[in-house]
A = this chain, B = another copy of it.
Amino acid sequence: MGRPRTPLLDRERIGATALELIDEQGEFSVPQVARRLGVQTGSVYHHVDGRAGVVELVRERVSASIDTATLGLRPWDAALTAWARSYRAAFAAHPHAIPLLMTSPVRAPKVLRQYEQAVRLLLDTGFPMAEVMTVITALENLVLGSALDLAAPETMWELPPDSPGTENLARALAATGTGRADAAFELALDAFVNHCRVRLAPPAPHSGRPAHSGPAASADSRP
């Protein structure tokens, strides 16, 4: 028997198979990946650093669809908005992977380099070093929450006919247009980016702006 032309096992195929399993059943195990690839479980572990290593291959695969060129756009708010939309689209294609990837530490080099780009964008914009990861995390939470919502049915509330006590809900649902999930995402994104603009802007004198929405960046807060 000749050697097969394509190797039975490589990191590419391990990541693809794990993501396939997650898409199908919401989870994966390394023995399942091995079974589907027709190899021993031990062979998989020759290529990756444990189960966590497989999770990082999945992360690289899902994140590969994020258009990182968006982070090079200017001004910064155009960059942040375009990155958020692309990020959401990439994860909405694999909603079952979201909880897994959100709760495992990020180690994939390509993904870490994407965070580096986002950090640089925010530092160049004037966000203080101590706030940068908070801003990125807050944006990710709304992006990933919205990506999960995009996997939900368009009709998300089903009222029994003539149910007493939900009349206003029924009217609000009837008045809502199509594209429920997209509209909610764009509203949240708009809110977030506007808030960042306010935090970066110098306070207008005597503007009566409440203290808690004052500027976050000051001249001496840059590293």
Which residue numbers of A lie inside 8 Å of B, CB to CB? 26-27, 95-96, 98-99, 102-107, 109, 112-113, 115-116, 119-120, 123, 129-130, 132-135, 137-146, 148-149, 151-153, 155-160, 163, 165-169, 171-173, 175-177, 180-181, 183-185, 187-188, 190-192, 194-196, 198, 212-213, 223
Contacts and interface: CB of A to CB of B under 8 A. Distances in A.
B177 A130 contact: yes
How many copies make up the complex? 2
A104 to B, nearest CB: 8
B138 A191 contact: yes
Given A142-B141, A142-B142, A106 B158 contact: yes
A129 B98 contact: no
A106 B184 contact: no
The A interface is mostly helix, strand or loop, or mixed, namely helix
A140 B144 CA distance: 12
A134 B166 contact: no
A112 B169 contact: yes
A153 B103 contact: yes
